[in-house]
Structure 1
Amino acid sequence: MQEDPRLSSLHLHGHEAALKAFRTALSSGRLPHAWLITGPPGIGKATFAFRVARIILQGEDPESPAGRRISAATHADLLVVSRSFDEKRQRFRGEIVADDVRPINAFLRRTAAEGGWRVVIVDGAEWLNRSAANALLKILEEPPPEAVLLLTSSAPGRLLPTIRSRCRKLDLTSLEGHDLQRIVAKQIPDITPADMQRILDGAQGSVGRAFALLVDNGGKMAGMAQEVLKGVSASRAYQIAEIVLKKDDGFNLFFSMLSDFLQNEARHSARQGQKQSASLAQTWEAIMRLQTETERFNLDKQETLLEAMTLVSKA
């Protein structure tokens, strides 16, 4: 299981350049009031945001009072906003709504409990719906003193341009293999060399994806994705969809693998001068849009999987 970003922020791996850029801004005395932390999914953007919060709130030492409160999620000057979890459906809601953002105003109006800064983390800002985004924009337009907002996003293009323009951007890159290996080994000390190599080969520098790949025992999910590329019958597509949805986060992992294989096929076809490269690229765009819309609007995942497999089989 992937470690809680509050705790993993105590031993951040990688992202040294971005962390240095933040420390430089802080020491200059002209700290921007809002930061947009971007990068591919699963590379530790939330972990980085919590590390920045620890720096601002003087909680880098895990044994310090501030450090202990951040780890325990009880620090009065740190507020975290993200997609809420739907207990009934057992999944995260498809968007961040205005009610999720509204507590930020009250939080920033009051005096810092510990006499210093107040920090707000908006994790997954691309999930803000229009009302929530407008509410956040108003805060960014008139930020209170000694307050910092940290927005993380895997898809900053979905944010309002006016939100992006009011943030200092920090781009995080995929983790190096040795950093990823240390993170995985810390969480799963008894992992076999074969599984470690399989994860490093497929994770593409993403911690989130590395742990998702662990769920794919023996590479079964990858095998099914490759099978779909060759074309599957309607009955086999239903079987694959059922298997995928029984896995923890199987939906996202399957789409991620299918996307990678499609991209590789498209590049190979383009290098060979084959006409189908354009069709493969269009199919890749279509299935990525399907995945995004399904997550955002809580659409039926089985229907989405079947539609994606139909598109890929045709391509």
Structure 2
Amino acid sequence: MTSDDSTENGYPEPRQNHQLLGHEAVEKVIVDAWNGGRMHHAWLLCGPRGVGKATLAYRMARFVLSQGGENAGGGLFNDKPTSLFVSPEDPVFRRIAGGGHGDLKVVERLYDEKKKRLQGEITVDNVRAVGGFMSKTSAEGGWRIVIVDAADELNRNAANAILKVLEEPPSNAMMILIAHQPGKLLPTIRSRCRRLNLGTLEDQTVTSLLAQYCPDMATDDLYALAGLADGSIGRALQLHDVGGLELYTQLVQLLSGLPELDVTALHKFAERFSPADRDEAFVTVTALLNWWLARMIRFAATGSAPREVVDGELPAMQRMAAAQPLDQWLEVWEKITDLMSATRGLHLDRKQAILNAFFLLEETIRN
């Protein structure tokens, strides 16, 4: 999720977000570690994109930095905190929200001015200062904290630089690593961190957050978008911004017509993604098609019907699952995934890629 006190979309960025829903058990682990004087020097927050890992990382940082010079465990006679909550009115909260706290450093991919997009990885140049930052005396007599968002985007040299810091951790210094795919991390990095896994959010939680961030959205659309988000509020908000629910509804309408493909409607749909500025929409629609096919294949393999996000999904899945054996659909899924990936990577005709994907589905059902 992203914003200042609000971004152009009105969603709070993790550094400005004061609430964390759906991960109370994970938060309790951290609070208990603090209260027991067992605050680890390195934490690895794992889970799917958009479920709240970065929000938790900043929540941890605010909490620890708001304790001043106290060590973990707080002091013999102090009340023990029961959560990591720090009021948005707290000076520490405000300074972190504004990116101006001297004892917090954030490592993330930088923006490439030439290519007008984020760099593909975090390089060693981005992390050179981490060791020196953590070994300095705290500017405010307390802790020094580094957040790496995300650690699985570190290149090899950058990862080795982070590992060196983890091998010799300074006192009263903490590193919080966020990982969408922790398997990509060096095993030696994983072994030096206390790992916490954040699972997907309940639909009810995603719906509640959507209602908060998108108050003008119709109730039915809130529920549908929550189902489409697959337990990720970040994914839900991204889909909302690009009209993902509308794209998905049209996608399902085309799939529901198979094997009698409405070629006119298909051409009109695919034409939407031809302009050069429609790359994000193309990425979204190909991801939605991939997701729909994955659910259909899972249904074919298990017989367990998925929740319908929009009307007509299940009958279409039933027809396709019955038309060909599972291994045939797996092959088709891989072909479509490769086609869409090549289309983006090689800047091929996006409209033609979508047409070819649907023609392949139509041919597979008919044969």
TM over 0.5: yes
Q: Which residue of 2 aligns with 1:4?
A: 13
Tell me the equivalent position of 1:90.
Answer: 116
After superposition, where does 1:1-315 map in structure 2 within 5 Å?
1=9, 2-8=11-17, 10-58=18-66, 60-217=86-243, 219-223=245-249, 225-226=251-252, 227=254, 239=271, 241-242=273-274, 246=278, 249-271=280-302, 276-281=325-330, 284=333, 299-300=345-346, 314=360
SS where residue 100 of structure 2 aligns? Answer: coil
Decide whether aligned partners of structure 1 residues 279 and 195 sit closer, same or farther in structure 2, where only a CA change above 3 A counts. same
Q: How many residues align?
A: 309
The CA distance in 1 between the partners of 2:56 and 2:341, in whole Å, is: 24
Supply the distance in 2 between the matched residues of 1:255 and 1:100 (Cα, whole angstroms): 32
Secondary structure of the residue aligned to 2:217 is coil
- Residues 282, 350 of structure 2: 8 Å contact kept: no
Alpha carbons of structure 1 residues 301 and 42: separation in structure 2 relative to 1, 3 Å: farther
Structure 1 pair 238/198, CA: closer, same or farther in 2 (3 Å)? Answer: closer
Structure having greater relative contact order (Cα 8 Å, sep ≥ 6): 1
1:22 Cα shift? 0.8
Deviations 1:98-146 (A, max 9, x none): 1111121221121111111111111121111111111111111111111
Consecutive unaligned residues in structure 1, runs of 5 or more: none
Amino acid of the residue matched to residue 65 of structure 2? L
Q: Is the 8 A contact 2:342 2:348 kept in 1?
A: no
Counterpart residue identity of residue 270, structure 1 = A
1:156-207 CA-partner distances (Å, limit 9, x unpaired): 1111111111111100011123322232222222222232122122112211
Shift of 1:94: 0.9
What is the deviation of 1:69?
Answer: 0.9
Report the RMSD for the aligned CA atoms in angstroms: 3.3
1:228 CA displacement = 7.5
Aligned residues of 1:251 and 1:301 also touching (Cα < 8 A)? no
Unaligned runs of 5+ in 2: 1-8, 68-85, 304-320, 362-367
3-state SS of 1:183 partner:
helix
CA distance in 1, matches of 2:329, 2:89: 53
1:290 to 1:74, Cα distance in 2 relative to 1, 3 A: farther
Deviation at residue 91 of structure 1 after TM alignment: 2.1
Write out per-residue CA displacement over residues 236-265 of structure 1, whole angstroms, 9 at most, x where no aligned residue: 597364369626x43543343123212112
Of 194-203 and 58-67, the range deviating more from structure 2: 58-67
CA contact (8 A) 2:42 2:174 kept: yes
Q: How far apart in 2 are the matches of 1:36 and 1:101? A: 17
Distance 1:115 1:290, change over 3 A: farther
Taking structure 2 as the reference length, the TM-score comes to: 0.73
Q: How far is the alpha carbon of 1:220 from its aligned partner?
A: 3.6
- Which residue identity is paired with 1:278? D
Q: Aligned-pair distance for 1:314?
A: 4.3
Point out the structure with max Rg over C-alpha.
2
Task: Check 1:76–1:263 CA distance in 2 against 1; reply closer, same or farther (3 A cut).
Answer: same
Distance between the aligned counterparts of 1:120 and 1:193, measured in 2?
Answer: 40
Distance (whole Å) between structure 1 residues aligned to residue 160 and residue 171 of structure 2: 21
Question: Displacement of 1:215 after TM fit?
Answer: 3.0
Tell me how far apart the structure 2 counterparts of residues 150 and 287 of structure 1 sit (CA, whole Å). 37
Quote the Cα distance in structure 1 between the aligned partners of 2:165 and 2:351: 39
Alignment match, 2:307: none
Distance 1:239 1:149, change over 3 A: same
Seen in structure 2, the aligned counterparts of structure 1 residues 141 and 311 have a Cα distance that, compared at 3 Å, is farther
In structure 1, how many angstroms separate the alpha carbons of the residues matched to 2:349 and 2:127?
Answer: 31
- Residue 66 of structure 2 aligns to a residue whose secondary structure is coil
For residue 300 of structure 1, report the CA deviation from its aligned partner: 4.7
Q: CA deviation at 1:46?
A: 0.6
Q: What displacement does 1:31 show? A: 1.4
